[in-house]
């Protein structure tokens, strides 16, 4: 004997008037297993109906809206605090750190002394390079001669400026000495390049 399906048991529980429901009822009366299954089905439905309804209270919106407003206020306060700290750090850097970022520039006489020392170092390097007399090409010789002529002109200008002895002589001499150092550096480069080319 076959037992009733779940669909047939649900139809009996709902007391429907589907075809074959009278036969299903007769089967339940005769079959204790199907009767027990129908009883369990009734109990499940009763337990489901006995569960409390899960409806949120109606006043939760005001609580959630208040929390959102509070969180937004906290974010604004944090941003304002960070902005104030950044502004304070900027002001501190401008007021106090100006001397740290841009140390006071050396006086004209100190700068002149440094440039003259650099020129002397280049002169010494040039003497060592000239001691090695090697055959050079025409281009290198012309470049070296042109640089030496310009250095000679600068030396005459330096002598003339020093001879006048003006009150701001250091300020007038400084650009001339810087130009001389640049020319000396170029002349050393020409001699070094010549020595490397000859060494090949």
The model's pLDDT over 37-81, given as tens digits with 9 standing for 90+, comes to: 888 888 888 888 888 877 766 677 787 888 899 999 999 988 888
C-beta of residue 123 within 8 angstroms of C-beta of residue 183: no
- The span from the CA of 5 to the CA of 38, in Å, is 10
C-beta of residue 181 within 8 angstroms of C-beta of residue 117: no
Q: Is the pLDDT of residue 101 over 60?
A: no
The model's pLDDT over 177-188, given as tens digits with 9 standing for 90+, comes to: 888 888 888 878
Please give the pLDDT value at position 19.
Answer: 52
Please give the pLDDT value at position 69.
Answer: 92
- The span from the CA of 119 to the CA of 161, in Å, is 18
Q: Is the pLDDT of residue 194 over 70?
A: no
Q: Is the pLDDT of residue 130 over 80?
A: no
CA-wise closest residue to 111 among 61, 165, 56, 178? 178
CA 48-49-52 angle, 5° bins: 90
Alpha carbon distance, N-terminus to C-terminus of the chain: 112
Counting beta carbons within 10 angstroms of the beta carbon of residue 185, is it exposed (0 to 12), middle (13 to 18) or buried (19 or more)?
middle
Task: Give the DSSP H or E segment for 54.
Answer: none
With a pLDDT cut of 70, the percent of the chain lying above it is 77
* Sign, CA torsion 178/181/183/189: negative
C-beta of residue 52 within 8 angstroms of C-beta of residue 24: no
145 contact partners, CB below 8 Å, separation of at least 6: none
C-beta of residue 181 within 8 angstroms of C-beta of residue 119: yes
- As a whole number of angstroms, the longest Cα–Cα distance in the chain is 139
In this prediction the pTM is 0.43
- The span from the CA of 138 to the CA of 9, in Å, is 116
């Amino acid at each position: 004997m076959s037992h009733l399906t779940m669909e047939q048991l649900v139809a009996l529980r709902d007391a429907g008037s589907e075809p074959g429901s009278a036969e299903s009822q007769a089967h339940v009366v005769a079959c204790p297993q199907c009767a027990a299954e129908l009883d369990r089905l009734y109990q499940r439905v009763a337990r489901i109906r006995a569960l409390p309804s899960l409806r949120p209270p109606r006043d939760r919106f005001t609580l959630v809206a208040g929390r959102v407003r509070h969180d937004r206020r906290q974010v604004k306060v944090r941003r304002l605090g960070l902005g104030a700290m950044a502004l304070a750090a900027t002001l501190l850097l401008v007021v106090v750190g100006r001397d740290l970022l841009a140390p006071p520039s050396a006086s004209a006489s100190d700068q002149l002394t440094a440039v003259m020392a650099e020129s002397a170092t280049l002169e010494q390097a040039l003497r060592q390079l000239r001691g090695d007399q090697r055959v050079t090409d025409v281009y290198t010789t012309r470049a070296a001669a042109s640089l030496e002529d310009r250095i000679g002109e600068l030396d005459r200008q330096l002598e003339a400026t020093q001879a006048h002895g003006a009150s701001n002589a250091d300020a007038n001499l400084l650009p001339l000495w810087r130009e001389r150092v640049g020319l000396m550096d170029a002349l050393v480069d020409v001699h070094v390049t010549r020595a490397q080319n000859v060494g090949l």
